[in-house]
Amino acid sequence: MARRAMGGRAAERAAADGAGAAGRAAVKGARRPEVRLPALEAWADGELEPDGDYDGLEFKAADLSGQDGAGARFMDCALTGCVVDETVLGRARVLDSVLTGLRGVGTHLAESTLRDVELIDPRLGGTQLHGAVLERVVIRGGKIDYLNLREARLKDVVFESCVLVEPDFAGARLERVEFVDCALKGADFGGATLKDVDLRGAAPLEVVRGMDRLSGAVISTGQLLDLAPALAAALGIRVE
Query: What confidence tens digit (pLDDT) does each residue in 126-173 have?
Result: 999 999 999 999 999 999 999 999 999 999 999 999 999 999 999 999
Residue 221: what pLDDT?
Answer: 92
> Nearest to residue 82, comparing CAs of 95, 101, 69, 67?
101
CA distance 141 to 148: 18
b/e burial code for range 60-69 (CB count within 10 A of at least 16 → b): eebebbebbb
Q: Are 180 and 203 in contact (CB under 8 A)?
A: no
Beta strands in the chain (DSSP E): 41-42, 53-55, 57-60, 73-75, 78-80, 93-100, 103-105, 113-120, 123-125, 133-140, 143-145, 153-160, 163-165, 173-180, 182-188, 193-198, 202-209, 217-218
b/e burial code for range 77-112 (CB count within 10 A of at least 16 → b): bbbeebbbbebbbbbbbbbbbbbbbbbbbbbbbbbb
Confidence of residue 18 (pLDDT cuts 50, 70, 90): very low
Confidence of residue 17 (pLDDT cuts 50, 70, 90): very low
Of the listed ranges 25-39, 84-98, 134-148, 182-196, the one predicted with least confidence: 25-39
Give tens-digit pLDDT for 182-228. Answer: 999 999 999 999 999 999 999 999 999 999 899 999 999 999 998 98
CA distance 206 to 60: 36
pTM, two decimals, is: 0.86
**φ, ψ (nearest 5 deg) of residue 11:** -65, -40
Sign of CA dihedral 96, 162, 223, 21: positive
Residue 159: what pLDDT?
Answer: 98
The residues, ordered by sequence, that sit 6+ positions from 52 with a Cβ below 8 Å of its Cβ are 69, 72, 73
